[in-house]
Amino acid sequence: MLKAIKLSITFDKPYGACIWVICLCMFWGMMRAGEAMVITQKNFNGKLHLKRSDIFFDKDTDGKLYARLDLPSAKTARPGKTQSAFITEQGDFCPIAALRNLFTVVPARASDLLFCWRDKKGGIKPMVKQTALKCINVILN
């Protein structure tokens, strides 16, 4: 699945970079689509949705790089508590490399949705769940 998506995505384009990083972070971080994306572009809420400021990079005790994504409202978390998803480097399907690529291709504010892209006019757009899933399903079918 990831290989098929990787072969079909253009990583240097904002939308492709965003789709790719979502796939990798959801896969390796065992995240639900609703934890990564919004239902509509207008319903982004920084108190409920994962923002760029909710990600932290560090090294573990063995010196290996990881990223911690603090989900503000995970389905399995207690109300008002965050739940963390940890992702590590993963070779050809590396979510950390994909995150770095996204930050380069789609510069955004810390308060913007983590998984966002830029339209042709340069505006930041949150990734909408149904649109992203449709794109992924087209690739996989």
At residue 67, the 3 state secondary structure works out as strand
- pLDDT value at residue 74: 66
- pLDDT value at residue 58: 96
- pLDDT value at residue 77: 64
Separation CA 139–CA 65 (nearest Å): 30
Q: Are 112 and 52 in contact (CB under 8 A)?
A: yes
- pLDDT value at residue 113: 92
- pLDDT value at residue 7: 92
Q: What is the pTM of this model?
A: 0.91
Question: Along the chain (141 residues), what's the average pLDDT of each consecutive run of 10 residues?
Answer: 92 96 94 87 85 95 94 74 88 96 95 93 93 94 90
| Every domain of the chain and the residues it spans | 10-140
Q: Which CATH class is domain 10-140?
A: alpha beta
- Name residues whose C-beta falls within 8 Å of residue 27's C-beta, 6 or more positions apart in sequence: 2, 93, 95
Select from 35, 75, 72 the least CA-distant residue to 54.
72
